[in-house]
Structure 1
Amino acid sequence: MITIESHSGPSAAEHRVEIVERKGTGHPDSICDAVVDAISVALSRAYLRTFGQVLHHNIDKSLLAAGRVEKGFGGGRVTGPMELIIGDRATFAMGGEEIPVAEIAVDTARQWFRDNLRFVDPDEHVTFRLVLAPGSPELTDIFARPGAVRVANDTSAAVGYWPLSPTERAVLSLERFLNSPSFKERFPETGEDVKVMGLRTGTDLELTVAMPLIARFIGSEGEYFARREVIRRAIGSFVEALAGFGRREVSLNALDEPGRGLGGVYLSLLGTSAEDADSGQVGRGNRVNGIIALGRPLGTEAAAGKNPVSHVGKIYNVLAHRLARQICQEIEGIREASVLLLSRIGTPIDQPRMAAAQLRLEPGRRLTEVSGRAEEIIARGLAGIGEFCRELAEGRHPVC
C-alpha cells in the first residue's frame, strides 16, 4: 500500500531554532559504525564469491572500549590499547564449505583503521574481540527460501527526507572539510575525532567544533593556543563562504582554558578520544544521511553492519532517503518530501506493509497534480530493490 499526502507545516529551515550534529570519522561512535559496516560488505563479498548469494549475518553490535595513554606536549605513549568488540551473528559454513568469518572481520577492521586514522596502528593500539555466533534457525532459514528477493527479517519502520536544510548542509560539509586530505595536509596537527554541533537561531549560525591537536606536533601550552587560533580562523573562513546565514560564530575546543596545562587543552596522541577518554557504540552516531538532526523525523534502527538483503533496518532506512530525494528531484513543485516505510517480518522486502510520502508543496501546487508521479517513484524503487540491495552489499551507499 502506497499513500501520498500533503504536509503543510513549516520545514526544518523555517523554524526559528534548528539543531544539527555530525560526528566525524574519528569519533568512537563513528568508528564503530564504519568498521562494522565495512565488515558486512567484506562478508557479503565472501558469501557471494563462495556461495553466489549473501548469507545471514548481522554485525551490528559493537563496542569500542577506550584505551589508556600517557601524553604531554611533544608526544607520549600508549599504555593500554583500545578494544573493539565485534558481535552478533554470521554464517560460518554452508554445505560443508566454510567461510573464515573471524579472519575477515579482524582483517577488515584493521584495514579500516589504517585507511582512516593516520596515527592509529591497529596492530599495536587496538585489540579485537569477536563475539559472533551462528544465527537462529528461523532467521537463517530466510536465506534458504525461494524468491527473487528476501523476506524481511524484522517488523521495523524507517523514515527519510529531502532536501537537507542549509544548516544540515553546513554541519555536514564542515566536518568533511576538517577531515579532508587537503585540510590534514595543511594542518597535520589536527586529529580525525571531529564533532560539529550546529545551532541556527533565525538566520544566525553558531558552530561548536571539537577537534583534538596531536601531541607530537605541539611543544607547549602557548603553541597549542597559537595553533588553535590559526585553525579556528581557517574554520571561520570556510563558514563565512556558506550561503544563507546572517551572523556566524565558530567555537573550537570550548573546554580549553589557558593556564591549566594539560588539563586545559584538547590534546591527543592518536587523533581519537577512544585512546583514553570516550568509548563508542554502534547506533549512537550519525543517521544514514550523515547527520543527527533534532528537528527531523528519526528512525531508531542502527543501520550499520546489518545484512543488506533482508534486514529492513538497513535497507529501508537508506531507501527512504533515496526515494525522498528522487521525488524532489523528479517532480516540479515539491519543496520537501519525507518517505516512511514499514515492514512486516516474513513479507518480501519489495512489499512493505506501508509506504507513504508526505509532501510539502510549492504555493499554488495541488496534491492531485503530483501524487500519481510520487507513487510511481516509490513503486519503481520497490520494484528495483533487488539491485538496490546488491549496491548495499557492495558498500555503495554509506550508512554513517
Structure 2
Amino acid sequence: MSITVNNNLITPDQLQYEVVERKGLGHPDTLTDGIAEAAEIEYCKYCLEKFGYIPHHNFDKVMILGGQCIQKYGGENFSDPIKVIFMGRGSKNFGSETIPMGEIQIKAAKAYLSRVLPHLDVESESIIVFQSITSSHSTRPYWFSPRDKNDLPEYSDEGPTANDTATMISYWPLTKSEQLALDIEGYFYQNNDQGLPYPRFKEFGGDIKVMVVRDGDASVATVTVPQITTMTTTADQYFEREHKLRNNLTNYIQSKYPNENINLIINTQTLGRNPRPYLVTAGSCTDFGEEGAVGRGNKTHGIISSFRPNTMEAPHGKNSTYFVGKVLGYQADVIAKQIYTVTKSPCQVILRANIGDKLYAPSKIIVSTAQKVSQEIVQDIVKDSLSIGSETTLRIIHEQPFLPRTNVIDEKNYGKDKY
C-alpha cells in the first residue's frame, strides 16, 4: 500500500466557473439508485440474521421503464404501468436453505418508493409492476450457490480481496455551489424517525432537478419542480402555487446565503409566451415514459459536480463485502471528512485497487490538500480508517450511507408546511 500526500489541490470554488447538478430523489435515475441500495441492504440483513454471512450478490443492475399516464389537471389513470426490473446476479441459497431473493428485492423496492413517492400506489399493478430476473449464473459452480462459509473466500482468515481494478474518489468539504444544489432540493423534504427524507408537501412531486452555475461571485440556480395532477385542478391553481413557491423558496435561499448573489429560476418552461406546466401523477417522470438506471445519476455526495474528478463506479446495490466500487467508496468518503476535520484543509482522496489486492490495502492512495498539512497526520488517518477492515461492511449496512439523501430543511428555524 503506497500513500502519497501533496498540497496541490485546487477546489472548484477557486475557479472562475463552477457547474453543479442535482437529480432529485424522485428523478428516475435517483429512484433506481435508491431501489438497488435498499434491496442490497435488506438482502444483507436477511442473510446476516439467518446465516451469519452475506453470500455473493450484486444488485447494481436495476432499471425503471416508464409507464404511460396523460398529465392533465385533476389527474388521469395509467394506460400502461411503470416497470421496475431487477437484473444482476445473486445467491438464492446458502447450503440447503433457500433465500427468497426476489421477494426481498420487491419488498424493499415497494418500501423505498412508498417513502419518496407517496402518491405512487405500489400495490396497484395497473400503476407499477415489479420483476426480478436476477440470475445465479457463473463459471464457478458455487459462487452464487454456496454450500457453506468455505465458498465465501472473503470470510477466510486472509480477508476480502478486491473484486475489480477500480479507483474511488472523494473530497470534502462541499463548495457553496454544491451545498446550494442540495439545499434547494432539501427545501421540499423532512426526515422521518430513521433519518431518511420524505416529502414535506403533498402538492409537489419528487422529480426535482437543480442546476447551479456560478460565474465569479454570481450564481444562477435553475430548478424544475413538478406539481401533482390530482392536487392541481386548474391552470390558475398551478400558476398561483408556483408563484408562491418562487417567492418562498427565494426567501429561504436568501436566508441561508445572505451574502451571496444568487438568482433563482423555477420552471423555465412556464416563463415564456406559451407557458407549459410541469405535471406528474405519481411524482416522477416515470409516469410518462422516462427510464431510470443505476449509475446514471448523482455521483459522490449526491451531486454531479462537473469540475470535480469522479469515478464511474456506482455503489448503489453493489455487494458490501468486497466490491471496490462500494467498500472503498465508503472509505474514501470517511477518510476525506476525517482529514478535513483534523487539518481544516479541503482535501481530495483517491483509492486505487487492483483486482486481487487485499481490499483494505489498496495499491495506491493519493491525498491532495489545499493547504500544507502534516503528511504523518494524513497517513495515520488513512491507515486508521482502513484498519477497521471488514467492519466497514457492517457500517455500510447499518449507516446506509448510499441510500439517496438530501440537505433537508431545518423546520425549527424556518417553519413547517410552508411552500
- Per the TM superposition, whether the score is higher than 0.5 is yes
Aligned residue for 1:341, secondary structure, equals strand
8 A contact 1:203–1:244 mirrored in 2: no
Change (3 A) 1:158 1:386: same
SS of residue matched to 1:76: coil
Query: Using a 3 Å threshold, how does the CA distance of structure 1 residues 312 and 284 change in structure 2: closer, same or farther?
Result: same
Report the equivalent of 1:7. 7
- Tell me the alpha carbon deviations over residues 278-302 of structure 1, each in whole angstroms, 9 at most, x when there is no partner: 2111001111411110011100111
For 2:258 and 2:347, the matched residues in 1 are separated by 21
Matched, 1:227 2:244: no
Cross-structure match for 2:169 = 159
What does residue range 162-311 of structure 1 map to in structure 2 within 5 Å? 162-180=172-190, 187-243=201-257, 246-256=260-270, 260=274, 264-311=276-323
Aligned to 2:386: 382
Deviation at 1:258, TM superposition (A): 6.7
Moved more, 122-131 or 14-23: 122-131
Q: Which amino acid aligns with 1:11?
A: T
Instruction: Please tell me whether the aligned partners of residues 36 and 60 of structure 1 are also in contact (alpha carbons under 8 angstroms).
Output: yes
Which secondary structure does the structure 2 equivalent of 1:18 belong to? strand
Q: Distance in 2 between matches of 1:375 and 1:181?
A: 36
Give the residue type in structure 1 aligned to 2:28: P
The gaps in structure 2 that reach 5 residues or longer are 405-419
The answer to whether the Cα contact below 8 Å between 2:92 and 2:98 also exists between their aligned partners in 1 is yes
Q: Is the 8 A contact 1:4 1:374 kept in 2?
A: no
Contact 2:153 2:160 in 1 (8 A): no
Shift in Å, 1:304: 0.3
User: Normalising by structure 2, what TM-score?
Assistant: 0.88
Confirm or deny: 8 A CA contact 2:65 2:289 kept in the other structure: no
CA contact (8 A) 1:35 1:109 kept: yes
- Supply the RMSD in Å over aligned alpha carbons: 2.2
Deviation of the 1:343 alpha carbon: 1.2
- Deviation track 1:189-235 (CA, whole Å, cap 9, x = no partner) reads 11111111111111112111111111122222222111111111111
Using a 3 Å threshold, how does the CA distance of structure 1 residues 316 and 244 change in structure 2: closer, same or farther?
Answer: farther
Pick from 327, 336, 351 the counterpart of residue 346 of structure 2. Answer: 336
CA shift for structure 1 position 136: 2.3
**Structure 1 Cα separation of the partners of residues 385 and 402 of structure 2:** 18
Shift of residue 392 of structure 1? 1.0
Secondary structure in 2 matching 1:342: strand
Q: Distance in 1 between matches of 2:211 and 2:284?
A: 17
After TM superposition, list the pairs within 5 Å mapping 1:359-398 onto structure 2.
359-361=369-371, 365=372, 367=373, 370-398=374-402
Q: 1:309 to 1:244 in 2, by over 3 A?
A: farther
Give distance in 1, aligned partners of 2:354 and 2:273: 59
Residue aligning to 1:128: 130
Taking structure 1 as reference, are residues 76 and 39 closer, same or farther at Cα in structure 2, changes over 3 Å only?
Answer: same
Tell me the equivalent position of 2:411.
none
**CA shift digits 1:282-334 (9 cap, x unpaired):** 00111141111001110011110001011011111121121011011012xx5
Cα 1:19–1:375, aligned 2, differ >3 Å: closer, same or farther? Answer: same
Deviation at 1:277?
Answer: 4.0
Q: Which has the higher helix share?
A: 1
- 3-state SS of 2:88 partner: strand
Aligned residues, how many?
Answer: 390
For residues 209 and 201 of structure 1, what CA distance do their matches in structure 2 show? 17
Is residue 39–residue 317 contact of structure 2 (8 Å, CA) maintained in 1?
yes
Q: In the alignment, is the contact (CA less than 8 A) between 2:8 and 2:368 conserved in 1?
A: no
Moved more, 341-350 or 1-10: 1-10
Separation of aligned partners in 2, 1:184 and 1:308: 25
CA shift in 2, pair 1:302/1:185, >3 Å: closer
Q: Report the Cα distance in structure 1 between the residues aligned to 2:46 and 2:33, rounded to whole angstroms.
A: 20
Structure 1: gaps (5+ residues)? none
Question: Alpha carbons of 1:293 and 1:186: their partners in 2 closer, same or farther (altered >3 Å)?
Answer: closer
